[in-house]
Amino acid sequence: MKILVAVKRVVDYNVKVRPNSDSSDVELANVKMSVNPFCEIAVEEAVRLKEKGVATEIIAVTIGTAQSQEQLRTCLALGADRAILVETDQSVEPLAVAKCLKAVYDQEQPDIVLMGKQAIDGDNNQTGQMLASMLGCAQGTFASEVIVEEGIIAVTREIDGGLQTLNLKLPAVITTDLRLNEPRYASLPNIMKAKQKPLATHTTQELGVDVSPRTQLLGVELPAQRQAGIKVNDVAQLVDKLKNEAKVIS
Ligand code: AMP
Protein backbone atom coordinates (compact mmCIF):
# COMPACT_ATOMS: atom_id res chain seq x y z
CA MET A 1 0.00 0.00 0.00
CA LYS A 2 1.33 3.39 -1.07
CA ILE A 3 0.71 6.51 1.00
CA LEU A 4 1.10 10.04 -0.33
CA VAL A 5 1.54 12.63 2.42
CA ALA A 6 1.01 16.30 1.57
CA VAL A 7 3.06 18.66 3.72
CA LYS A 8 3.27 22.43 3.80
CA ARG A 9 6.15 24.70 4.77
CA VAL A 10 4.80 27.30 7.20
CA VAL A 11 6.08 29.78 9.77
CA ASP A 12 7.03 27.77 12.88
CA TYR A 13 4.19 27.67 15.40
CA ASN A 14 6.43 29.18 18.11
CA VAL A 15 7.05 32.35 16.08
CA LYS A 16 4.87 35.36 16.82
CA VAL A 17 3.93 36.50 13.32
CA ARG A 18 3.78 40.19 12.40
CA PRO A 19 3.01 42.20 9.26
CA ASN A 20 5.87 43.25 6.96
CA SER A 21 6.88 46.92 6.62
CA ASP A 22 4.07 47.86 4.18
CA SER A 23 1.49 45.51 5.79
CA SER A 24 1.08 43.77 2.43
CA ASP A 25 1.75 40.33 3.91
CA VAL A 26 3.17 38.50 6.92
CA GLU A 27 6.91 39.15 7.49
CA LEU A 28 8.77 36.05 6.29
CA ALA A 29 12.34 37.39 6.21
CA ASN A 30 14.59 35.64 8.76
CA VAL A 31 11.65 33.77 10.24
CA LYS A 32 11.94 30.12 11.30
CA MET A 33 9.97 27.87 8.94
CA SER A 34 8.80 24.33 9.75
CA VAL A 35 6.54 21.53 8.60
CA ASN A 36 2.92 22.49 9.34
CA PRO A 37 2.09 20.69 12.65
CA PHE A 38 -0.97 18.87 11.25
CA CYS A 39 1.18 17.65 8.32
CA GLU A 40 3.75 16.31 10.81
CA ILE A 41 0.92 14.30 12.36
CA ALA A 42 0.07 13.00 8.86
CA VAL A 43 3.69 11.91 8.31
CA GLU A 44 3.75 10.22 11.73
CA GLU A 45 0.53 8.31 10.94
CA ALA A 46 1.96 7.13 7.61
CA VAL A 47 5.15 5.96 9.37
CA ARG A 48 3.09 4.10 11.99
CA LEU A 49 1.08 2.39 9.21
CA LYS A 50 4.37 1.34 7.61
CA GLU A 51 5.71 0.06 10.94
CA LYS A 52 2.51 -2.02 11.33
CA GLY A 53 3.16 -3.57 7.90
CA VAL A 54 0.08 -1.89 6.37
CA ALA A 55 1.97 0.58 4.17
CA THR A 56 4.90 -0.27 1.94
CA GLU A 57 5.93 3.14 0.65
CA ILE A 58 5.53 6.71 1.90
CA ILE A 59 5.94 9.64 -0.47
CA ALA A 60 6.02 13.17 0.93
CA VAL A 61 4.95 15.94 -1.43
CA THR A 62 4.93 19.69 -1.16
CA ILE A 63 4.04 22.55 -3.47
CA GLY A 64 6.24 25.54 -2.81
CA THR A 65 9.56 27.27 -3.31
CA ALA A 66 12.96 25.55 -3.57
CA GLN A 67 13.42 26.18 0.19
CA SER A 68 10.57 23.73 0.87
CA GLN A 69 13.16 21.00 0.27
CA GLU A 70 14.20 21.56 3.91
CA GLN A 71 10.77 20.45 5.11
CA LEU A 72 10.76 17.50 2.70
CA ARG A 73 14.15 16.40 4.13
CA THR A 74 12.57 16.58 7.60
CA CYS A 75 9.79 14.25 6.40
CA LEU A 76 12.41 11.89 4.94
CA ALA A 77 14.20 11.90 8.30
CA LEU A 78 10.92 11.10 10.04
CA GLY A 79 10.41 8.02 7.84
CA ALA A 80 9.13 8.96 4.36
CA ASP A 81 10.84 6.91 1.62
CA ARG A 82 11.01 9.59 -1.05
CA ALA A 83 9.84 13.11 -1.67
CA ILE A 84 8.42 15.24 -4.46
CA LEU A 85 8.71 19.01 -4.69
CA VAL A 86 6.34 20.77 -7.05
CA GLU A 87 8.32 23.95 -7.34
CA THR A 88 6.73 27.36 -7.74
CA ASP A 89 7.56 30.85 -6.53
CA GLN A 90 3.87 31.82 -6.49
CA SER A 91 2.01 31.70 -3.21
CA VAL A 92 -0.42 28.87 -3.89
CA GLU A 93 -4.07 28.80 -2.84
CA PRO A 94 -5.87 25.61 -1.73
CA LEU A 95 -7.45 25.12 -5.19
CA ALA A 96 -4.04 25.29 -6.90
CA VAL A 97 -2.53 22.94 -4.29
CA ALA A 98 -5.37 20.46 -4.74
CA LYS A 99 -4.88 20.53 -8.53
CA CYS A 100 -1.12 19.90 -8.16
CA LEU A 101 -1.79 17.08 -5.67
CA LYS A 102 -4.26 15.54 -8.13
CA ALA A 103 -1.58 15.60 -10.84
CA VAL A 104 0.90 13.89 -8.47
CA TYR A 105 -1.82 11.43 -7.42
CA ASP A 106 -2.46 10.54 -11.08
CA GLN A 107 1.25 9.78 -11.55
CA GLU A 108 1.78 7.90 -8.28
CA GLN A 109 -1.60 6.16 -7.81
CA PRO A 110 -1.38 5.97 -3.99
CA ASP A 111 -4.00 4.09 -1.95
CA ILE A 112 -4.22 6.76 0.75
CA VAL A 113 -3.53 10.50 0.73
CA LEU A 114 -2.78 11.77 4.23
CA MET A 115 -2.90 15.51 4.83
CA GLY A 116 -3.25 18.00 7.64
CA LYS A 117 -6.75 19.25 8.45
CA GLN A 118 -5.42 22.77 7.99
CA ALA A 119 -2.28 24.77 7.47
CA ILE A 120 -1.62 27.07 10.43
CA ASP A 121 -0.67 30.01 8.19
CA GLY A 122 -3.81 30.46 6.07
CA ASP A 123 -6.15 28.40 8.32
CA ASN A 124 -8.06 27.48 5.17
CA ASN A 125 -9.09 23.89 5.96
CA GLN A 126 -10.01 23.38 2.29
CA THR A 127 -7.32 21.45 0.43
CA GLY A 128 -8.13 17.89 1.55
CA GLN A 129 -11.82 18.32 0.82
CA MET A 130 -11.10 19.83 -2.62
CA LEU A 131 -8.68 17.04 -3.50
CA ALA A 132 -11.14 14.29 -2.49
CA SER A 133 -13.80 15.96 -4.60
CA MET A 134 -11.47 16.20 -7.64
CA LEU A 135 -10.48 12.55 -7.23
CA GLY A 136 -14.11 11.50 -6.69
CA CYS A 137 -12.94 9.38 -3.76
CA ALA A 138 -13.83 8.95 -0.08
CA GLN A 139 -12.70 11.47 2.51
CA GLY A 140 -12.27 11.24 6.27
CA THR A 141 -11.56 14.68 7.68
CA PHE A 142 -10.43 15.61 11.23
CA ALA A 143 -9.26 12.04 11.89
CA SER A 144 -8.41 11.16 15.49
CA GLU A 145 -7.99 7.42 14.78
CA VAL A 146 -7.22 5.50 11.60
CA ILE A 147 -7.49 1.71 11.32
CA VAL A 148 -6.81 0.00 7.99
CA GLU A 149 -8.24 -3.48 7.47
CA GLU A 150 -8.74 -5.44 4.24
CA GLY A 151 -9.26 -2.56 1.84
CA ILE A 152 -11.39 -0.52 4.27
CA ILE A 153 -10.20 2.32 6.44
CA ALA A 154 -12.08 3.08 9.65
CA VAL A 155 -11.62 6.77 10.40
CA THR A 156 -12.81 8.17 13.71
CA ARG A 157 -13.56 11.87 13.37
CA GLU A 158 -13.82 14.59 15.96
CA ILE A 159 -17.16 16.29 15.44
CA ASP A 160 -19.17 18.68 17.59
CA GLY A 161 -20.22 16.91 20.75
CA GLY A 162 -18.53 13.56 20.12
CA LEU A 163 -16.85 11.13 17.78
CA GLN A 164 -18.04 9.68 14.47
CA THR A 165 -16.54 6.58 12.82
CA LEU A 166 -16.68 6.18 9.04
CA ASN A 167 -15.66 3.18 6.96
CA LEU A 168 -13.95 4.46 3.80
CA LYS A 169 -13.21 2.51 0.65
CA LEU A 170 -9.75 2.91 -0.83
CA PRO A 171 -8.48 5.11 -2.31
CA ALA A 172 -9.25 7.79 0.24
CA VAL A 173 -8.13 11.19 1.46
CA ILE A 174 -7.65 11.52 5.21
CA THR A 175 -6.99 14.78 7.03
CA THR A 176 -5.47 14.69 10.49
CA ASP A 177 -6.67 16.24 13.74
CA LEU A 178 -4.47 17.06 16.72
CA ARG A 179 -5.24 13.96 18.78
CA LEU A 180 -4.44 11.40 16.05
CA ASN A 181 -0.89 10.89 17.35
CA GLU A 182 2.15 12.60 18.79
CA PRO A 183 4.85 12.97 16.15
CA ARG A 184 8.31 11.62 16.94
CA TYR A 185 11.54 13.60 16.72
CA ALA A 186 13.95 12.73 13.92
CA SER A 187 17.09 11.03 15.22
CA LEU A 188 20.51 12.25 14.09
CA PRO A 189 21.29 9.03 12.12
CA ASN A 190 17.92 9.36 10.35
CA ILE A 191 18.63 13.03 9.53
CA MET A 192 21.92 11.91 7.94
CA LYS A 193 20.23 9.05 6.05
CA ALA A 194 17.52 11.42 4.79
CA LYS A 195 20.16 13.30 2.77
CA GLN A 196 20.57 10.22 0.54
CA LYS A 197 16.86 9.57 -0.01
CA PRO A 198 15.38 10.52 -3.43
CA LEU A 199 13.82 13.97 -3.82
CA ALA A 200 12.32 14.67 -7.26
CA THR A 201 11.40 18.15 -8.47
CA HIS A 202 8.64 19.04 -10.95
CA THR A 203 7.38 22.40 -12.08
CA THR A 204 3.70 23.29 -12.14
CA GLN A 205 4.03 23.64 -15.95
CA GLU A 206 5.29 20.05 -16.20
CA LEU A 207 2.20 18.94 -14.30
CA GLY A 208 0.01 21.11 -16.54
CA VAL A 209 -1.50 22.98 -13.60
CA ASP A 210 -2.46 26.65 -13.60
CA VAL A 211 -1.61 27.94 -10.12
CA SER A 212 -2.43 31.59 -10.76
CA PRO A 213 -4.27 33.09 -7.78
CA ARG A 214 -8.05 33.52 -7.71
CA THR A 215 -7.98 35.86 -4.72
CA GLN A 216 -5.96 38.96 -3.87
CA LEU A 217 -4.44 39.61 -0.46
CA LEU A 218 -5.27 43.23 0.36
CA GLY A 219 -3.27 43.50 3.56
CA VAL A 220 -2.57 42.08 6.99
CA GLU A 221 -2.77 43.81 10.37
CA LEU A 222 -2.34 42.86 13.98
CA PRO A 223 -5.46 42.64 16.13
CA ALA A 224 -6.20 45.77 18.21
CA GLN A 225 -4.17 45.93 21.43
CA ARG A 226 -6.20 45.04 24.53
CA GLN A 227 -6.68 47.94 26.90
CA ALA A 228 -5.28 47.56 30.40
CA GLY A 229 -7.90 46.62 33.03
CA ILE A 230 -8.98 48.91 35.88
CA LYS A 231 -9.88 48.26 39.52
CA VAL A 232 -13.27 49.40 40.75
CA ASN A 233 -14.03 50.23 44.39
CA ASP A 234 -17.42 48.56 44.68
CA VAL A 235 -20.25 46.86 42.81
CA ALA A 236 -22.10 50.15 42.31
CA GLN A 237 -19.12 51.60 40.43
CA LEU A 238 -18.80 48.40 38.36
CA VAL A 239 -22.46 48.56 37.34
CA ASP A 240 -22.11 52.25 36.53
CA LYS A 241 -19.09 51.64 34.29
CA LEU A 242 -20.75 48.69 32.51
CA LYS A 243 -23.85 50.82 31.92
CA ASN A 244 -22.40 54.19 31.02
CA GLU A 245 -18.86 53.55 29.72
CA ALA A 246 -18.86 50.05 28.21
CA LYS A 247 -22.61 50.29 27.45
CA VAL A 248 -22.95 46.50 27.69
CA ILE A 249 -25.91 46.58 30.12
CA SER A 250 -28.88 48.93 30.24
P1 AMP B 1 -5.30 24.25 4.07
O2 AMP B 1 -6.50 23.78 3.27
O3 AMP B 1 -4.49 25.31 3.36
O4 AMP B 1 -5.66 24.63 5.48
O5 AMP B 1 -4.29 22.99 4.17
C6 AMP B 1 -4.73 21.71 4.56
C7 AMP B 1 -3.68 20.69 4.22
O8 AMP B 1 -3.46 20.67 2.81
C9 AMP B 1 -2.29 20.92 4.82
O10 AMP B 1 -2.19 20.46 6.15
C11 AMP B 1 -1.42 20.08 3.87
O12 AMP B 1 -1.53 18.71 4.17
C13 AMP B 1 -2.10 20.36 2.52
N14 AMP B 1 -1.44 21.51 1.86
C15 AMP B 1 -1.82 22.81 1.91
N16 AMP B 1 -0.94 23.57 1.22
C17 AMP B 1 0.01 22.73 0.74
C18 AMP B 1 1.18 22.89 -0.06
N19 AMP B 1 1.57 24.09 -0.50
N20 AMP B 1 1.91 21.78 -0.37
C21 AMP B 1 1.51 20.56 0.07
N22 AMP B 1 0.42 20.34 0.82
C23 AMP B 1 -0.32 21.40 1.15
Domain boundaries, the chain: 2-225
Top mutation candidate among 11, 13, 39, 102 for ligand 1, by most atoms within 8 Å of CB = 39
∠ CA(247), CA(249), CA(250), 5° rounding? 95
Q: Whose CA is nearest to atom 4 of ligand 1?
A: 118
What separation in Å is there between the alpha carbon of 103 and the centre of ligand 1? 15
pLDDT at 1: 95
pLDDT value of position 74? 98
Q: Find, among 119, 114, 122, 106, the residue nearest to 143 by Cα.
A: 114
Residue 203 confidence (pLDDT): 97
State the Cα–Cα distance between residues 153 and 138, nearest whole angstrom. 10
Instruction: Please report the pLDDT score of residue 120 as a whole number.
Output: 97
236 in helix, strand or coil?
A: helix
| Residue 250: per-residue pLDDT | 85
Q: Which of 9, 10, 36 to mutate to test the pocket of ligand 1 (most atoms within 8 A of CB)?
A: 36
pLDDT value of position 151:
83
Distance CA 208, CA 14 (A): 36
H or E segment and range at residue 46:
helix 37-51
Residue 199's Cβ-count burial label (10 Å; 0-12, 13-18, 19+) is middle
Tell me how far apart the alpha carbons of residues 198 and 76 are, in angstroms, rounded to a whole number: 9
- Identify whether the C-beta of residue 4 lies closer than 8 Å to the C-beta of residue 171: no
| Cα 176 from Cα 184, distance rounded (Å) | 16
What pLDDT is stored for residue 185 in this prediction?
A: 96
Question: Chunked in runs of 10, what are the mean pLDDT values of the chain (250 residues)?
Answer: 98 95 94 98 98 97 98 98 97 96 98 98 96 98 94 92 94 97 97 97 96 94 89 95 91
Cα–Cα nearest to 29, from 41, 19, 42, 44: 19
Distance 92 CA to ligand 1 centre (A): 10
Q: How far apart are CA 109 and CA 106, in angstroms?
A: 6
Q: Which CATH class is domain 2-225?
A: alpha beta
- Ligand 1 contacts (CB < 6 A) are 6-8, 36, 38-39, 62-64, 92, 94, 97, 115-116, 118-119, 122, 124-128
Q: Which of 97, 121, 141, 202 has most ligand 1 atoms within 8 Å of CB, for mutation?
A: 97
* Contacts for 19 with CB less than 8 Å, ≥ 6 apart: 25, 26, 27, 219, 220, 221, 222
Q: What angle do CA 71, 73, 76 make, to 5 degrees?
A: 115
The residue among 171, 124, 136, 132 whose CA lies nearest residue 152 is: 171
Atom of ligand 1 nearest to the CA of 115: 12
Q: In this structure, how many other beta carbons lie within 10 angstroms of the beta carbon of residue 132?
A: 23
The answer to whether residues 55 and 1 touch, using CB atoms and an 8 Å cutoff, is yes
